[in-house]
Amino acid sequence: MKVSLRSFLRRNWLAIIAILIGIAVSNHFYQKSIAKREPVFLVDPSRTEIIDCTRLEETPLRVVRASGDEIKGDVTSTRFYFWNNGRQSIKPSNILEPLIITLDDPDGEILDYKILKQSREVVKPLLQPDTADPGRSLFLSFGILEPEDGLTSQVIYKGNPDATLTISGTVEGVRVITTGSEMIKRRFWFQLGKYIFIIIIFLVLFGAFGLFVGFLEEKEEKKHSPTTKFTLSLINVAVVLIASLFFYCLLIGFTVHKARRTAATTVIQTVPADIIP
């Protein structure tokens, strides 16, 4: 007995969806179970303005260094978080090339820095000026970073208030150190996934209804004339096009925009609670 594809899908659509979901869930947990190192460097999206040079020009106040030299320009404070998001510890012997944190403003200067918090005493983080570029770069070292271990540091710098911090270096078994932009992408897909899941549920219900209607039409199609069948086909095509356009607009116009916006503002939630001051 020959079974059509449409008939097969109508009878087994729920089982097919369950199998696909099962494969996705299994793959997710398999990837999570793999022991690997994943150093993460995240710069806090918020900044603290310490000095705005445009407003300071109108006052007799002057900001000077400990040496007495005047500081000219905007002064801003930012934070960065560095932690091991993997399941395998990171030791000093795993650092193949030094971890260097650099202010990406060529005319900027790091004025001060300090460790605000560390997850445990064994982390033993250390920040110090990098000998190659002591004005804009810091050398980062630590005792050990086990899973979820890390540190938070504050950096005060002179220069462009929108300047950010970057990290370079090589960790054994790690192709690229995960940065804030990568974490934002992950948050984007996570947020988008939640919205798409809701849409998929709606589509499944819509599809089940369509299959049910199609089943009824098959039983009645012998009663219709060719003209009536053609009209019904046009109506079905129009309904599918309108529904597709609606879901496309819903997905692009709402879910993508909202996921991108929330990803940028909630990325700080990925930082382990033990290193948040």
Weakest-pLDDT range from 89-103, 160-174, 214-228: 214-228
CATH of domain 39-176: 2.60.40
Instruction: Kindly indicate the confidence band of residue 82, based on its pLDDT and cuts at 50, 70 and 90.
Output: very high
Q: 38 CB contacts (<8 Å, ≥6 apart)?
A: 84, 85, 86, 174, 178
For residues 164-191, average pLDDT? 85
How far is the CA of 162 from the CAs of 16, 47, 110, 201, in angstroms? 50, 8, 14, 42
More confidently predicted of 3 and 245: 245
For all residues of the chain together, what is the average pLDDT?
78
Weakest-pLDDT range from 18-27, 129-138, 145-154, 224-233: 224-233
130 φψ region: left (φ > 0), alpha (ψ -120 to 50), beta (else): beta
Instruction: Supply the DSSP symbol for 69.
Output: P
Beta bridge partner(s), residue 178:
40
8-20: pLDDT as tens digits? 555 665 666 667 6
H helix or E strand, kind and range, residue 115: strand 109-118
What integer pLDDT is reported at residue 273 of this predicted model? 93
Instruction: Kindly indicate the confidence band of residue 51, based on its pLDDT and cuts at 50, 70 and 90.
Output: confident
Let me know how long the chain is.
277
More confidently predicted of 202 and 106: 106
H helix or E strand, kind and range, residue 237: helix 226-250
For residues 30-53, average pLDDT? 80
Is the pLDDT assigned to residue 3 strictly greater than 60? no
Write the single-letter amino acid at 154: Q
Percent of the chain clearing pLDDT 90 (strictly above): 41
Domain residue ranges in the chain: 1-34, 39-176, 184-275
For 18, the token pair is 């369950």
88-124: pLDDT as tens digits? 999 999 999 999 999 999 999 999 999 999 999 999 9
More confidently predicted of 115 and 265: 115
Please answer whether residues 177 and 167 qualify as being in contact, where contact means their C-beta atoms are separated by less than 8 angstroms. yes
Is the pLDDT assigned to residue 198 strictly greater than 80? no
Is the pLDDT assigned to residue 238 strictly greater than 70? no
Instruction: Kindly indicate the confidence band of residue 45, based on its pLDDT and cuts at 50, 70 and 90.
Output: confident
